[in-house]
Amino acid sequence: MSYAADSGVCLDRILASTDLSGLSKKDATTFTRRLKEHFPRLFDKYTYVYGHQYDCYFHLQKLVEILRDGLKNRKPALKKLDNERLKNPLWYRDEQQVGMACYVDLMGPTLNDLHDKIPYFKSLGVTYVHLMPLYDAPKGDSDGGYAVSDYRKVNPTLGTVKDLEKLASALQKEGINLVLDFVFNHTSDEHAWAKAALAGEKQFQDYYYLFDDRTIPDQYEHTLREIFPQVRRGSFTFNEQIEKWVWTTFNSFQWDLNYSNPEVFNAITSEMLFLANIGSAALRLDALAFIWKELGTSCENQEKAHVLIQAFNCCLQIVAPAVVFKSEAIVHPDEVLKYIDKDECQLSYNPLLMALLWNSLATRKTRLLTRSMKKSFSISENCTWVNYVRCHDDIGWTFDDAVANELGINAFDHRHFLNQFYTGRFEGSFANGVPFAENPSNGDCRVCGSLASLCGLEGALKSNDSKGIDDAVKRMMLLYGITFSIGGIPLLYSSDEVGKLNDYSYRFDDTKKHDDRWVNRIAVTRADTELALGNTSPANPTETASLHVFNGLRKMIAIRKQNAIFGQSSTQILDADNHHCFAFLRENTQGHKLLVICNFSEHPQTIQRSLLATLKGASSRDLLTDETVEMNASPLLLEPFQQMWLLAN
């Protein structure tokens, strides 16, 4: 018998014993219709992971009840949105989409204060706001909120769930989508499940990976990567209270959930639906690469991690089809691609582009960027990249060693160079960054710092170097310009838009000083937004630069939104015939073409006109300057750090 037949019988039986009387007639019809459509896939995934367990079908039945309750609790406005999004499933590929990620306390400082920030978001053109974790979390160090103690409670310092719902609908009214984190690899050690485990309840001890001694942890650790070697060596933490070793991939207070237990899958699905029902348009799947453990492997990117995410995706299709997943896989580029699928994660961060933009800025060379993007940029037309330059985390140099090798670049040495460069230890570097997670065993490290400081603004302001300031601003425009034009949702990291410098105050805070990522978690103050909105005038060089950055970004965003070519069109990475330059072609089904050419060096560069031939027209217009560019004159000149957005006439 085929699995489809199996799943049909199974669904009939489950439905026969599932009480749908709490649902409205309309909801009951929707629910059964969606189950008919998506249950076969869910059944397939679920039984693939849990089928060998005697109680698999019991849990599957329970899961269907969780889904039913999820639909019951979904507000009418969100159900309406479900229908709209089902009719326009590729909304996220639209040129209108521009994202911003921010911490509530650094922007608000409360959820209610964020209502006042809506005009600010709108003045930039932001249509997607990712509020970094705002759930109840341990006091003091909570990994910036990524240690969740209760998914259904907002951190009291920020507000309440009611406030969050109110904000979600206020944003939605203004055409802004709310994006929330789904932190599902781990909970904090203060989550009710962890507390029950600590109290000795066997059922909840099975929610996590607990070991009586080092035997099994030692076996796993042979092949595990250390994520935060600066705070603790290895991936396990000894808990005195229960005298057991707990699997803690990240900080010791972040306990990894045990997804080999179907009860965990069900319980987390229920939490996920709660977040979906608050009114989020997308859920950011935090640390998704780590959710499945397999002895003898790195326990990252395992096949069953994918199957589980697909199963979660089925659940969303049944209850809240307006909601999409965003993958946060900061891993090898080939592995990043595997999460991207209509039935898995429709959106994905693009860590390769991010890292290689910084690489090109340091080296002034684009061959690794060009070669890597040729290999890895193209993804399913049903999905889209989320292109970013900075985020609240560190920069990891996750390029493919094999691609580097092909170009004669020694990956290990090159990463070392990049770390030296961006921490300002390399002579002549313009960057002010901070090393992060230095691993004493292998010398590995990653880099932290704000966009502006890494681009040289901090150093230039300090030395009163006006050309340096100018160059730094141009570097920022160049990096963001590529995220606005290359294809995907550009994601601003709040504080970048006003060019804020590194904030070193974390070094005086006992709950933060061991985690250098705080250097790039920077408040956007009222003074910043007033200046940006033109309500005050710049009073010093720092503010002048800040305003330049804001206005520059705002202008590029406006141009993006006026031209459909930035939305649903293909991207072809080109050879720019000048190794300081990066070029790509956008093309849509109406035959419109856009050629983007970028100069990564502080010197003028020339480009042969043959590149322009890809536009197949007699002339084109640079959308950034509104100047006409003829095709058949002498070589094209690009000023230092200049980019051109050439639309074929």
Active site residues: 286, 328
Query: Based on CB atoms, which residue is closest to ligand GLC, 299 or 323?
Result: 299
Residue 387 three-state SS: strand
DSSP 20: -
- What's the min distance (Å) between Cβ of 523 and ligand GLC? 18
Query: Based on CB atoms, which residue is closest to ligand GLC, 8 or 144?
Result: 144
Question: Where on the chain is the footprint of ligand GLC (CB under 6 A)?
Answer: 143-144, 146, 183, 227, 250, 286-287, 328, 330, 392-394, 396
Report how far residue 562's alpha carbon sits from residue 94's, in angstroms, rounded to the nearest whole number.
11
Pairing of strands 244-247, 186-188: unpaired
- With beta carbons less than 8 A apart as the criterion, state whether 578 and 606 touch: yes
Residue 545 three-state SS: helix
Report how far residue 123's alpha carbon sits from residue 109's, in angstroms, rounded to the nearest whole number.
20
Report how far residue 145's alpha carbon sits from residue 261's, in angstroms, rounded to the nearest whole number.
25
- What's the min distance (Å) between Cβ of 405 and ligand GLC? 22
How many helices (H) and strands (E) would you count in the chain?
23, 25
With CB atoms as reference, the residue minimizing the distance to ligand GLC is 146
Question: Terminal CA-to-CA distance of the chain, rounded, Å?
Answer: 59
- What's the min distance (Å) between Cβ of 281 and ligand GLC? 19
| Per-residue 3-state assignment (H helix, E strand, C coil) for 290-312 | HCCCCCCCCCCCCHHHHHHHHHH
Query: Based on CB atoms, which residue is closest to ligand GLC, 141 or 458?
Result: 141
- What's the min distance (Å) between Cβ of 176 and ligand GLC? 22
- What's the min distance (Å) between Cβ of 512 and ligand GLC? 13
Query: Based on CB atoms, which residue is closest to ligand GLC, 178 or 607?
Result: 178
H or E segment to which residue 616 belongs? none
- What's the min distance (Å) between Cβ of 103 and ligand GLC? 11
| Residue 84 burial (C-beta neighbours within 10 Å; 0-12, 13-18, 19+) | exposed
Which backbone phi and psi does 96 adopt, to 5 degrees? Answer: -70, -20
Report how far residue 26's alpha carbon sits from residue 208's, in angstroms, rounded to the nearest whole number.
39
Query: Based on CB atoms, which residue is closest to ligand GLC, 444 or 471?
Result: 444
Q: Which amino acid is at 475?
A: R
Query: Based on CB atoms, which residue is closest to ligand GLC, 398 or 432?
Result: 398
